[in-house]
Amino acid sequence: MKKQLFILLLLALALAGCGQQQKAVVNTDSTVKKASSSSAAHTVPEKPSSPKKTVDSKPEEAKSLTDSRDGKQYKIVTIGTQTWMAENLGYNVIGSKCYDNKSTNCDKYGRLYSWSAATKSGCPKGWHLPSNAEWDVLYRYAEGTNNADSPYESNIAGKYLKTKSGWNQNRNGEDKFGFSAMPGGFGNPDGYFNFIGSNGVWWSTGEYDGYYAYNRHLTYIDDGAHWSYNDKGNLFSVRCLRD
């Protein structure tokens, strides 16, 4: 009998202990819930967010082109509505030469071309030699004017188109748009070369007459962007414009 009472007493104590553990768990849960409700009381309800609009992502514009004819890569730059090579053309064709016939000058300044070579076999597919009107667009954009003269002569555009280094007497430009015009000089068919470091001259498609064609040029002397016409046999730099 005493043994049975002892067993009953143990069972009673065990049940009491289980009750206390369950109470402790409940108390813990209620404490957490209370803390959460207290935090919520001090939180400003968020307004329903508006549905997000779907924006079509545009592919990143290429910053270089590869000439499939020789594998040479060129930096390119978009200026206003035009996309230009940001380097002088260096494709080797009949009617083109390196300044002073030195390959190191070709590496730095590109090749120099006769007008015929520049127009017929200069720029790669999808690109072309710019016309007077297209050069005018560049000059006007760089200057920030709507002047309708053509060929257009600017007093300030050269400052924004020339590279920040490489021009004689440190009379460099700001290269504001990334056109990076360099002073590659010029030559003629007889092997005479001059003005590297001082002048950069680029062909246009425009013809003055049967013997002369238009060009554009920048100089270390001033900040202008100029035009002139010269013998088609002279050797000038080429910048290509995307079609």
Is 13 within a domain?
no
Q: pTM above 0.85?
A: no
Q: Could you tell me the sign of the dihedral formed by the alpha carbons of 210, 148, 235, 205, in that order?
A: negative
Query: Residue 45 pLDDT > 90, yes or no?
Result: no
Q: What's the pLDDT score for residue 82?
A: 98
Q: What's the pLDDT score for residue 42?
A: 43
Is 157 within a domain?
yes
Q: What's the pLDDT score for residue 237?
A: 98
**Residue 235: CB atoms within 10 Å:** 27
- pLDDT tier, 234 (very low <50, low <70, confident <90, very high otherwise): very high
| Pair 125, 68: CB distance under 8 Å | yes
Query: Residue 47 pLDDT > 90, yes or no?
Result: no
Is 208 within a domain?
yes
pLDDT in tens, 54-113: 334 344 467 999 999 999 999 999 999 999 999 999 999 999 999 999 999 999 999 999
Cα(183)–Cα(168) distance, integer angstroms: 9
Q: What's the pLDDT score for residue 202?
A: 98
Q: What's the pLDDT score for residue 147?
A: 87
pLDDT in tens, 137-170: 999 999 999 888 999 999 999 999 999 999 999 9
Is 10 within a domain?
no
Is 232 within a domain?
yes
| Pair 228, 103: CB distance under 8 Å | no
Query: Residue 204 pLDDT > 80, yes or no?
Result: yes
Is 167 within a domain?
yes
Is 165 within a domain?
yes
> Could you tell me which residue, 26 or 203, shows the higher pLDDT?
203
| Pair 175, 159: CB distance under 8 Å | no
Is 136 within a domain?
yes
Q: Domain limits at 186?
A: 64-242
| Pair 216, 226: CB distance under 8 Å | yes
How many structural domains are present in the chain?
1
Q: Could you tell me the sign of the dihedral formed by the alpha carbons of 160, 163, 168, 169, in that order?
A: positive
- What does pLDDT average to over the chain? 82
**pLDDT (mean) for 101-129:** 97
Q: What's the pLDDT score for residue 61?
A: 62
